[in-house]
């Protein structure tokens, strides 16, 4: 039997072809998709503005070489930075992700589709300013919304039944893939160039999840998405310049993604690409916290008034949860930094039971020094509820359920509170959107004067008017 390697260049993997065909050919007709994309956009930008107040985030921003200004470069909202599209993508992506407050997608793999906005906004803004400088019309925000819908769909559909975390890889690799696909399209790339860019994203080195888990939990998890979306932009730039791709990046024996990194398993794609993901995306409206904890925090805040004056008499708190929460945020032992704390279910619930709220400041060292938090955290038991785990994966429900009950030394206990769907779930969209808009207004108010806030809100809330705006004109509204 011959062991010679075949020299013929094969046809590209079907996964790559399907992504390219979707990006180029799928026409988005859903008004719900565009409306939701508009909410995703302003929510992500608001989260980014809030993150500017945190020195650990701000120190990572700006050009690689201090003082560099790129002619016709992309703007970073809330700052005076004008950068090349790759570095701008890192800046914007890092801002959006820093506080763990942007939208979420939960399936076999977890992730945050708005992470792609770093690359999308940086690319579209840079292209617009460059085109204006050469006498051409800029890109419009509708193209940004279209790119968002398609990036959400690529990341989310690949996440539905393919668990990268189970092989130790971080979900941001899907951000790199989706960003590479849609940014190549924004740059005018054709089918082969999109295939090439996506293949490059899969060939690229992939991040390990170790920075999200004990004993290595750290702040990289807050800038990993910025890194991934920036890398997607870089690969897009290479591809539109004619850099070759790798047609069997996934399926090549031994050397391809499946054999090298996915235990020989092929991806399962169970539904066609459309606008399903953005229409069902989860908004983090109430709390900057890992999404699997959102309903538990809702329950804890509701229980808070019953615990006033009784904290010392608590003997046990029981949280019934779902399997994914146990895998990601069921954490005992010392917590070393904010990144550790915002991925600890026990910490978040303990803080909410004590304070009756949960804000980004709750994870900082000063707040964590309160001895009551760790004392209560030690009394929390987390157990899996199989029905919650089933409903989490049920495509007709996609719940993220938790139940919380408090037990006291005198033998009494609180009512067990159960919450299946958090405020940001599609089933609670009508209830959640007004709160989401208020969240956006608060983020604007911390950064801009009233007249500027009003201009941004007016241009953002009309989806048709927003779509007709030039990208650079919209982002210029966020200049300090």
Which of the four pLDDT bands, split at 50, 70 and 90, describes residue 6? low
Burial of 371 (0-12, 13-18, 19+ CB in 10 A): exposed
User: Half-sphere exposure of residue 175, counting CA atoms within 13 Å on the CB side?
Assistant: 33
Average pLDDT of span 259-272: 97
For 255, the token pair is 């050397």
pLDDT over 50 at 323, yes or no: yes
What does the pLDDT read at residue 11?
96
DSSP string, 196-250: HHHHHHHHS---BGGGGSTTS--THHHHHHHHHHHHHHHHHHHHHTT----TTTT
Average pLDDT of span 261-276: 97
Average pLDDT of span 265-269: 97
Round to whole Å and give the CA distance between 50 and 452. 16
What does the pLDDT read at residue 7?
62
Which of the four pLDDT bands, split at 50, 70 and 90, describes residue 28? very high
**CB 254: neighbour CB atoms within 10 A?**
6
Burial of 374 (0-12, 13-18, 19+ CB in 10 A): middle
Which phi and psi angles does 418 have, rounded to 5°?
-120, 130
- Of 361, 120, 105, 338, the closest CA to residue 222 belongs to 338
Which phi and psi angles does 87 have, rounded to 5°?
-70, -35
What does the pLDDT read at residue 107?
87
What does the pLDDT read at residue 1?
41
Average pLDDT of span 181-192: 98
Q: Which residues contact 93 (CB under 8 A, 6 or more apart)?
A: 115, 117, 118, 119, 175, 223, 225, 226, 227, 228, 229, 230
Its pTM stands at: 0.90
pLDDT over 80 at 5, yes or no: no
Are 92 and 225 within 8 A, CB to CB?
no
Round to whole Å and give the CA distance between 471 and 124. 7
What does the pLDDT read at residue 2?
44
Give the pairing of strands 314-321 and 105-106: unpaired
Which of the four pLDDT bands, split at 50, 70 and 90, describes residue 214? confident
């Amino acid at each position: 039997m011959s062991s010679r390697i075949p020299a013929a260049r094969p046809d590209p993997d079907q996964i790559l072809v399907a992504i390219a065909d979707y990006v180029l050919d799928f026409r988005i007709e859903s008004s719900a998709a565009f409306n939701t994309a508009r909410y995703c956009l302003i929510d992500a930008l608001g989260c980014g503005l809030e993150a500017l107040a945190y020195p650990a985030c701000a120190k990572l921003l700006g050009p690689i070489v201090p003082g560099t200004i790129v002619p016709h470069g992309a703007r970073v909202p809330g700052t005076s930075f004008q950068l090349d599209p790759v570095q701008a993508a890192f800046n914007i992506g890092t801002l959006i992700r820093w506080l763990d407050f942007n939208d979420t997608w939960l399936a076999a793999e977890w992730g945050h589709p708005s992470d792609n906005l770093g690359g999308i906004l940086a690319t579209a803004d840079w292209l617009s300013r460059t085109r204006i400088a050469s006498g051409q019309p800029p890109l419009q925000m509708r193209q940004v919304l279209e790119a968002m819908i398609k990036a959400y769909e690529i990341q989310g559909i690949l996440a539905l039944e393919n668990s990268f975390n189970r092989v130790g890889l971080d979900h941001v690799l899907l951000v790199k893939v989706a960003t590479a696909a849609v940014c190549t399209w924004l740059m005018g790339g054709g089918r082969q160039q999109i295939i090439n860019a996506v293949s490059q994203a899969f060939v690229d080195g992939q991040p390990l999840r170790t920075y999200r888990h004990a004993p290595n939990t750290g702040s990289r998890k807050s800038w990993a998405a910025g890194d991934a979306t920036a890398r997607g932009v870089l690969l897009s730039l290479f591809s539109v310049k004619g850099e070759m791709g790798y047609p069997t990046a996934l399926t090549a024996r031994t050397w391809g993604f499946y054999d090298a990194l996915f235990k020989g398993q092929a991806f399962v794609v169970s539904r066609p690409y459309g606008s399903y993901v953005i229409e069902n995306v989860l908004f983090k409206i109430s709390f900057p916290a890992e999404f699997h904890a959102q309903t538990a925090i809702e329950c804890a805040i509701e229980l808070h008034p019953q615990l006033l004056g009784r904290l010392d008499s608590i003997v046990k708190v029981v949280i019934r949860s779902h399997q994914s929460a146990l895998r990601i945020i069921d954490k005992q032992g010392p917590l070393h930094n904010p990144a550790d704390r915002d991925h600890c279910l026990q910490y978040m619930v303990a803080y909410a039971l004590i304070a009756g709220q949960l804000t980004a400041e709750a994870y900082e060292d000063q707040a964590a020094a309160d001895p009551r938090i760790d004392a209560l955290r030690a009394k929390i038991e987390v157990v899996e509820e199989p029905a919650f785990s089933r409903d989490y994966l049920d495509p007709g429900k996609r719940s993220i359920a938790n139940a919380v009950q408090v037990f006291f030394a005198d033998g009494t206990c609180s009512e067990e509170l159960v919450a299946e769907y958090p405020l940001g779930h599609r089933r609670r969209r009508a209830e959640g959107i007004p709160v989401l808009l208020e969240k956006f207004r608060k983020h604007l108010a911390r950064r801009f004067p009233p007249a500027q806030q009003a201009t941004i809100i007016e241009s953002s809330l009309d989806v048709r008017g927003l779509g007709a705006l030039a990208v650079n004109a919209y982002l210029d509204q966020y200049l300090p």
